[in-house]
Chain A
């Protein structure tokens, strides 16, 4: 079963604009991770944020985590056509062996 829900399901923006994707989850977590997937191929790890962290940055990516609301957001600034992909949030539940529980994903299209 899916842990979380992502919003929006699809997003279309122009190059240079910012893209924001949101993720909600149901159980307490050890950490939350964001992944990118191009055209149904393997997933690329973007960023990991731990349950005691509130914000994390990596290049043009900014991730926030609100454990009280069980939600996270991914912001991609100054988007590029190459950012076109599906983005997934995945949680590692507390006390779990480490399985990733994925949401349904957000499909991002960046138009040149």
Chain B
């Protein structure tokens, strides 16, 4: 049990819609990262927030955006959903800083039809 929670657990959307995924980490976790995991693949880094500022971004288009809030929660927003956005979205937080052990939530499985 990592103490990192994500909501919702499952979500079905249609192409072109927008989606917001949420993550809540433990108090004091100053870093949160988001990953996309397609079926049968390893997770791919989307972006990272450190003390509420974006601290790095992977190879994802601008329609993927995020926020980190002062209460250590975070959001991932995806606009103009495409079929290839169907994946497991994982949130991870770290208490010791961006380069240290990250604790993952259970993920949100998104299906885009």
Contacts and interface: CB of A to CB of B under 8 A. Distances in A.
Interface of A: 1-2, 30-31, 33, 35, 40-45, 48, 88, 90, 92, 96-105
A99 B97 contact: no
Interface size class, chain B = 20 to 34
A102 B99 contact: no
A48 B97 CA distance: 14
20 contacts: A33-B101, A42-B4, A42-B90, A42-B105, A43-B104, A45-B102, A90-B42, A96-B99, A97-B55, A97-B56, A97-B98, A98-B100, A99-B33, A99-B48, A99-B56, A100-B35, A100-B45, A101-B45, A102-B42, A102-B44
Interface of B: 2, 4, 31, 33, 35, 37, 39, 41-45, 48, 50, 55-56, 58-59, 88, 90, 92, 94, 97-107, 109
A100 B107 contact: no
Given A88-B42, A102-B42, A102-B43, A41 B107 contact: yes
Contacts of A31: 99
Contacts of B109: 40
A45 B88 contact: no
A103 B42 contact: yes
Given A90-B42, A99-B58, 16 more contacts: A1-B59, A35-B104, A40-B39, A42-B107, A96-B56, A97-B99, A98-B31, A98-B55, A98-B56, A98-B94, A98-B98, A98-B99, A99-B33, A102-B43, A103-B42, A105-B42
